[in-house]
Amino acid sequence: MNTSFGFPEAQGLYDPSLEKDSCGVGFVAHIKGKPSHQIVLDADQILRNMDHRGACGCESNTGDGAGILTGLPVKFMAKVAKDNFGIDLPEAGKFAAGNIFLPKDESEREHCRKVIGELIIKHGQKLIGWRVVPVDADGADIGPTARSGEPVIEQLFVAAADGLNQEEFERKLYLIRKQASHALRGDTKLKQALLFYVCSLSTKVIIYKGMLTPAQVMPYYRDLNDPDYQTHLAMVHSRFSTNTFPSWDRAQPLRFMSHNGEINTLRGNSNWMRAREGNAASEIYGDQLPGLFPVVEPHCSDSGTFDNCLEFLLMNGRTLQEAVMMMVPEAWQKHETMSEDKRGMYEYFSTMMEPWDGPASIVFTDGHYIGATLD
């Protein structure tokens, strides 16, 4: 059985609805936001030093998953666009790029590109082009199991419509990505539908990840070794899927966070998010809001489910700090030294959302702020 394209069916003592994991997380950032390639190298060192926090299967060179999230490297992307498309990119904030996992079958791959292209046009944005991400599976010594589930990885470039500011553009990209995921990962006509996955599509961050060991990320992704690849922050993750099945899409970092631990309240959290969709309203999305449902996508790990919810809150106007404190509140009820204002904030949030309880350690970023919290 090839388990790399999705969860196995329930069998014996195994139930895919009960999957959990435990991992290693870390980040590095320049406090004043100055980008450099050294940040990438420092992040790689952190990741390699967390090898013990990751896991591998029956092969020492097949990892449970590892990756790196960085700020969008504008200088590097400008060079890539010039080399691949012969154009000058719009100014920072007016274009987005993201790494997309695609099926190995060319016809299915072309179908995925077509659907995404149509959604970009539908939402009034401009498709710049697709670029094949240079990878080196042999140089990174990727194991047979990882190779069996390895997707084709391409980089999508999108330009903002005239008159949109960066945040408005980000919200359009969210609509495009969610609707593409709903249409393609659930397409029963695609034999390799679960190979389709949007790692990120943003004006602010980009993610390079996969079913890799910590030491394989830099050798596998050639982009990360280019001196022009400069960032002001980087988040890394080494996955230990304690009782989950690894795959390329479940590797982290996710779009806004990395996670170590377990979400023990996951089923209740997921059910409540689905229940709220019936009476949800948004001043930002208006009648487009149903196009984002379901918020919690199928085939996600507990971390992926958390990330789905966090992204939904952010795109609907919450700040990063507010959203994280809403989802992972402190034990505020009997905290004797907590201020009344802070206690009141948590009490107010408790009327809107139940806590996503762990034990869990979560690192989060929106490309501007970066931080960490414990439940």
For Cα atoms 364, 178, 351, give the angle at the middle one, nearest 5 degrees.
55
- Report CA torsion sign: 33, 38, 40, 43: negative
Tokens 């009141």 belong to 344
> HSE of 128 in the Cβ direction (CA atoms, 13 Å)?
25
At position 10, the amino acid (one-letter code) is: A
Given CA atoms 125, 370, 262, 151 in this order, what sign does their dihedral have?
positive
Q: CA triplet 165, 167, 172: central angle to 5 degrees?
A: 95
Q: How many helices (H) and strands (E) does the chain have?
A: 10, 11
Closest CA to 85 of 69, 100, 70, 97: 97
Please say whether the beta carbons of 241 and 21 come within 8 A. yes
* Structure token digits, residue 149: 């589930």
Candidates 23, 56, 199, 300; catalytic one: 23
> Would you state the structure tokens that stand for residue 66, as one six-digit string?
């590892």
Coil, strand or helix at 127: strand
State the greatest distance between any 2 C-alpha atoms of the chain, in Å, as a whole number: 62
Identify whether 300 is a catalytic site residue: no
Residues tagged active-site: 23
